[in-house]
Amino acid sequence: MRNIEEFSVINDYEDTKLAWDAYKKHHSSEPSREYYIFHTANVNIEVQEQEFIGIRGLR
Q: Rounded to an integer, what distance in angstroms lies between the CA atom of residue 29 and that of residue 2? A: 24
**pLDDT for the residue 59:** 62
| Mean pLDDT within 15-44 | 91
Contact 47, 36 (CB under 8 A): yes
Alpha carbon 48 to its chain centroid, in Å, reads: 12
Contact 1, 48 (CB under 8 A): yes
HEC assignment per residue over 11-46: CCCCCHHHHHHHHHHHHHHCCCCCCCCCCCCCCCCC
**pLDDT for the residue 17:** 95
Q: What is the pLDDT of residues 9-29, one digit of tens each?
A: 999 999 999 999 999 999 999
The predicted model scores a pTM of 0.68
**pLDDT for the residue 13:** 94
